[in-house]
Structure 1
Amino acid sequence: MRFLHSGDWHLGKTLYDVSLEEDQKQFMEQVHEIFGDAKREGKPYDALIIPGDIYDRNVPPAKAVSLLDDFLGRMSRDFPEAHVFILSGNHDGPARLGFASSFLEKSNIHIATDAAKTGDAVMVSGVAVYQIPFLLQTSFPDEETRTQQRLFERATEIIRKSHAEKHPGMPAIVCAHATVYGKSDGEHFLSVGTASSIDRELFSGFTYTALGHIHKYQQLGENGNIFYSGSPLAYSFDDNTDKCFLSVEIGTDTEKPDSVERIPVRTLHPLIRLSGKFSDFIGEDAHKKWAQYRDCYVEIKCTDSTLSENPKRALLETFPRILSFVRERSASGGGSDFEERRKLAMKQGDSEVGLFRKFVRDMHPEDDHTVSAEQLEEEIALFAEAIGEMRNGGAEK
């Protein structure tokens, strides 16, 4: 069996209120191309596995639903022999994702949202494929202990029993949406989103475990047969941008896959974070220096105190897709500690004008040559004049 593993699509996701629809269309188109190329080469894929977080929210926007509908329609039309496995993640609404699943089953599209069907295998080229949707405390009503660890113990117990009875000696693939760590590594049990971590030993004995939920590619397990493909896009500037699909081949070995190959994702608008002085990013020289990032989603971290009425607008000429502009906290504690310093200054009896003077000096330190000392004094004088007028007006009233 040969299949492609890709998780956490988060269709409908926006980044800083910017739609990622075109970016998501790009990686979905690449999936279609990979299947097409493999078919033409005479080594077709038997399946596509997407273990959860198909959508970014419980109630996905209409465009996200249309995006998935178009993709599944093309896959079914162009590769009718290929199976598509989809399960609900913690971001998905099971009832909505599972709509028409019985009908879609006839087209080899298997959508798992019901834990009660965990033991039902789909046979593909002599391999049994099991799906575990994101487990809730209500997934097994008769289960008294409902931690993620116990819920997954129950789910894997069901799969092992079913596999031993119906498909003994055959390779088995388990697809799940979870945070998996190893007790044997001495790692602490953690929580990511709404999913507390579970012991990877629960998946021992299966030929391959296809995981979703963690957005970074990872390989786990003593046999190296437990994988996160990671998300196909970076969905934050802190995310790892080395994205991939996993191309997996399963042979007759029930202990591990024959091969797992990483296929890099072609990203339409990569995420990039740049740091430097404001002046480094504006002007004709900056246009040339940063030309390679014009099609990237950009975050600028400004290391100086230069003021601009609308810094993002000023940076648009250099970075047409800038999403975020932030100032780094100064090492001296200024700039981002205004509130604490204001309280201290008031305790010390500083006047409004004194506070404003400190504010201005914070925003324009001595190494800032964009504003002259005379201009700063003019600003302070105007503020003092305004305060005086307010007080005089109050006294007259």
Structure 2
Amino acid sequence: MVDQATADEQYLAKADFQVLLDVLAGEGYEVLGPTLGEGAIVYGPVRRVDDLPRGWTDEQEAGHYRLVRRNDEAWFGFVVGPQSWKQYLFPPRTRLLTAKCEHGTWKMQPAEEPVPKYAFLGVRACELAALDVQDRVFMHSAFPDPHYVRRRQQALVIAVNCTQAAPTCFCTSMATGPRCRQGFDLALTELAEGFVLEIGSPRGRELAARLPLAPASEQQCRDAADARAQAEQQITRHLATAGLRELLLSNLNHPHWDDVAARCLSCANCTMVCPTCFCSSVEEVSDLLGEQIARERVWDSCFNPQFSYVHGGLVRHNIRSRYRQWLTHKLATWHDQFGTSGCVGCGRCISWCPVGIDLTQEVAGFRAAADRALFDRRPGAGEHAASVSGQGRGPSGLSASRPFLQQPRGETGRPLPDEAPELGQSDAPGSESPRSTEGR
């Protein structure tokens, strides 16, 4: 795929959309796209246009997701659901090798699996950015992952520009959307009767040549631009990224980590729905006779207590240290490893957090504390602070004079005993256990 759309905009009528699906199927692609299932919009096989969630949208907020009917029949009139495309390129369970005992001797055999030929339909701009992030991890690192590489090279990407945003979206802060600008073969913008189509790669051009397209009219191009602009105007959540790495890494022992730990369940929902998280572990599964063993890579999470188990103990033994590891890696040290943020602003971690923790608000809390600390160091600031002591409310609804919890808290949110040991060097962000892929 090339970096930018390289052709004039074309128009594909909805009445002809089935032709696109048929052409892809004829070329051996398994078309995967948005469907209705499990009370959400999830990705699955799309063989007919009726498989798409026509006339449905999603209602999202912190800790809240609901499907609701639209007042029109838009095919892609929603934002993002709980799933991401990484489940197809970096599957939740991958067999790495098998070992078989024959005549008392174990023979190892690398796993051989057919490489699926996927066509991803309906990829949003933030998801294109997430694919790029995972490419950096699995394809362009010092140790490319052959399973990912084979699947990724086969995949064809048909993106869809957002024409609406959820309250949880903040892709504009991360410069990842809502407009699809690179990383696709074809990109579509939905209008009432059809789609304005852009070509983004030679493979996309070959596919477009087999479709019943017409040059998009000036009015259709204006309507598409207005629809894309509408999505951007609806984005109200923001994350200030300037100096963010330094802000987080200079506040590793700030008491605000205790505040968020008192609310976090360490359930790992945020990492499971995140389109870029890639922590994994390795399991060995034996048959009942003990004569054959399969070694498999499975998704894991830095929020799972056992994930940091090493040498007889846990490296990150409380929620405070696990949440801190996740946030500082995602927004800070990911830059050191891969030259980019690990967050694309899709908002999934906000919607699917059972208690509604919002990372943009947590970062804002750190910024507010840093601003207050800077103000307090100014000459005469002490007298002013005394005059307003106890007035107003600070971040997280706490008083401005005492904005964060001051006492360390454990797994249940209860204060740790006074004799609890200080967090050691091994508890610092980036100190990964050998099981962690993210700490490489």
TM-score (norm 1): 0.25
Greater RCO (CA < 8 Å, at least 6 residues apart) = 2
Structure number with larger C-alpha Rg = 1
